[in-house]
């Protein structure tokens, strides 16, 4: 099985932006997390320059993206979108810091417990990449 995180980083940035997702969750390193909320960092080569955010309730999402190379949203840099019902979710990225939360947890926000970069659940480790726990 071929996963996106096996691609070179430059291709990851392009493919994620083309798909309309400003943050590649596979590249995030978890710093702290409690259940369905986390704070992570993006590596320097993962397109961390800029600011992006999205908030969703059921099927309505509001997105903001001020990143170089990002696709235009309906109102230039922000806009509403509508997709499948997902409960509550939010994501905020400013430079290399990313905050995520979701109720219930989803593919972009897996259940985790991390304190100061030390992961306690669902596996033990230090500076664990989110991709390592996303497909459990």
Highest mean pLDDT of the ranges 3-12, 39-48, 88-97:
88-97
With a pLDDT cut of 90, the percent of the chain lying above it is: 43
Give the side-chain half-sphere CA count within 13 A for 14. Answer: 5
DSSP three-state, residue 17: helix
Per-residue pLDDT, 44: 78
Please check whether residue 48 is in contact with residue 114, taking contact to mean a CB–CB distance below 8 angstroms: no
Left if phi > 0, otherwise alpha if psi is -120 to 50, otherwise beta: which for 58? left
Per-residue pLDDT, 15: 37
18 contacts: CB under 8 Å, gap ≥ 6: 71
Q: Tell me: pLDDT of 47 over 60.
A: yes
List pLDDT tens digits, range 73-122.
Answer: 777 777 887 777 778 999 999 999 999 999 999 888 999 999 999 999 99
DSSP three-state, residue 15: helix
């Amino acid at each position: 099985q071929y996963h996106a995180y096996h691609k070179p980083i430059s291709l990851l940035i392009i493919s994620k932006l083309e798909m309309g997702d400003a943050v590649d969750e596979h590249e995030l390193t978890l710093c702290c997390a409690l259940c369905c909320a986390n704070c992570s960092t993006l590596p320097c080569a993962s397109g961390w320059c800029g600011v992006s955010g999205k908030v969703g309730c059921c099927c309505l999402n509001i997105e903001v993206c001020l990143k170089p190379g990002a696709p235009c949203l309906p109102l230039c840099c922000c806009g509403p979108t509508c997709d499948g019902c997902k409960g509550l979710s939010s994501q905020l990225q400013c430079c290399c810091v990313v905050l995520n939360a979701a109720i219930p947890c989803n593919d972009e926000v897996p259940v985790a417990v991390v304190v100061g970069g030390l992961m306690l659940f669902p596996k033990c480790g230090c500076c664990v990449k989110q991709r390592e726990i996303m497909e459990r």
